[in-house]
Amino acid sequence: MNVRVRRAWLVVPVALSAVVAMSACAEQNNGASAAGKCDSKIAFFGARTGPNANLGINIYNGVKLAVDQYNAKHKDCKVTLESKDSQGDEKQAPGLAQQLVQDQKVVGVVGPAFSGESEAADGIFDQGGLPLISASATNPSLSQKGWKVFHRMLGNDNAQGPAAATYIKDTVKAKKVFVIDDTTAYGKGLADVVKKSLGSQVVSTDTVQPKQTDFQATVAKVKSSKADAIFYGGYYAEAGPLVKQLRGANVKAAFVSDDGVKDEGFIKGAGNAAAEGSVVTCPCIPGDEAKGTFFADYKKAFGKEPGTYGPEAFDSANVFLDGIAAGKTSRKDMLAFVNAYDKDGVTKHIKFDSTGEIAKSEIVIWSYKVSGGEIVKDQEIKATS
């Protein structure tokens, strides 16, 4: 054996090793681990701490219930739940999204929970080919960005805004409405839709800032407007003290707000007396309206009734879990599975259009009232604005 031949034999194993390594890398880059579906993870992305954490915790619990039930039925091939606590902060969102994209075992994300963090993170998920289903982000523009991985398990603010306006006109019977927003992508976006729907009934507007605690300037503007209703677009952390200060200044205008305020944290911030009678709208179903055993299962698991978007989160997680059970363990295969999904969930019949929105025929908007220190369901709103 001459030297040239000996060198050729030495090169072959090295080349084969490189091919094997490249194949493994390519497989990982496609999101399919060598070990198959038993390595799969799905992720929760949203606030579990921070000023509006309760909204994220409700969603996390819905996802956890779905994963726990799946694992109880698949004890030899369990799915791992990954959690990224964004604190609802859009500045933290890109870094957390990158972490999930880099973990090739993650084949689906339930979230992000809020619209602002969705705008910051969803483009990164799209670049990573990682499918997502938000159980709560409602800004309409999210489905118009061209992100192929985006899906939403609820109606957006182009449905909630007109419904809120209809409630203000037909149920509150307000003639003069003062509209306030918190300048976030979510709060401002929804308030803009409400203003457009109410038209000339809007007598004045104002903005507040996230983490603001003193609202006296806004209270004075509302009082001088002599409005008989207020619409607030934003989250419960600011809505609670805002209402407390409005009632403290003897402003009696009806207070109507949105799904970001649908949490007991609003009542704690406002106090029972100030919060009483306030109304929030939500493209979410009441927990006890969910199909099957969800309501009882949730109470048994967490010792309380399902919170806002808990049922929608449960449905979102189960779409991915159905995909894993069907052997869809690469992100590419999972995305195709989600896009073709056509099945009943506990909240609705789940089928997405080409932009990732849920079918319009399945969208519902409910109003909820603060009564006796609790937020209770009021009525399903049929938008006419």
| 177: its two tokens | 């409405």
- The pLDDT tens digits of the residues spanning 104-133 come to 999 999 999 999 999 999 999 999 999 999
- Using an 8 Å Cβ cutoff, are 177 and 206 in contact? no
- Residue 374: pLDDT over 90: yes
pLDDT of 76 reads 93
Residue 297: other Cβ atoms inside 10 A? 18
Q: What mean pLDDT comes out for the span 76-103?
A: 97
| 276: its two tokens | 């009483």
Amino acid letter, 315 = D
Work out the burial of residue 345: count CB atoms within 10 Å of its CB; fewer than 13 is exposed, 13-18 middle, 19 or more buried.
buried
For residue 232, list its beta bridge partners: 180
CA dihedral 365, 113, 336, 23 (to 10 degrees): 180
Pair type for strands 349-350 and 343-344: antiparallel
Whole-number average pLDDT of the chain: 91
Residue 75: other Cβ atoms inside 10 A? 7
Choice between 39 and 341, residue whose per-residue pLDDT is larger:
341
- The pLDDT tens digits of the residues spanning 133-162 come to 999 999 999 999 999 999 999 999 999 999
3-state secondary structure of 43: strand
Listed in order, strand segments (DSSP E) in 242-278 are: 254-257
3-state secondary structure of 368: strand
Tell me how far apart the alpha carbons of residues 145 and 133 are, in angstroms, rounded to a whole number.
15
- Using an 8 Å Cβ cutoff, are 47 and 56 in contact? yes
pLDDT of 8 reads 37
**128 alpha-carbon distance from chain centroid:** 20
- Residue 171: pLDDT over 60: yes
pLDDT of 384 reads 54
List Cβ neighbours of 277 (8 Å cut-off, separation of 6 or more).
254, 255, 369, 370, 371
| 161: its two tokens | 């805004």
Least Cα distance to 305 among 61, 63, 50 occurs for: 61
321-328 long-range contacts (CB < 8 A, ≥24 apart) are 321/42, 321/66, 321/67, 321/70, 321/79, 323/107, 323/108, 324/37, 324/40, 324/42, 324/70, 324/79, 324/107, 325/70, 325/74, 327/37, 328/107
Residue ranges of alpha helices (H) inside 271-330 are 272-275, 294-302, 310-325
| 77: its two tokens | 């091939």
Confidence of residue 23 (pLDDT cuts 50, 70, 90): very low
- Residue 264: pLDDT over 80: yes
Choice between 8 and 280, residue whose per-residue pLDDT is larger:
280
Amino acid letter, 173 = K
pLDDT of 38 reads 84
Least Cα distance to 292 among 52, 66, 40 occurs for: 66
Whole-model pTM: value is 0.86
Task: Give per-residue burial for 299-327: e unless 16+ CB within 10 Å, then b.
Answer: eeebeeebbbbbbbbbbbbbbbbbbbbee
Least Cα distance to 359 among 367, 351, 371 occurs for: 351
**26 alpha-carbon distance from chain centroid:** 32
For residue 371, list its beta bridge partners: 374
Amino acid letter, 38 = C
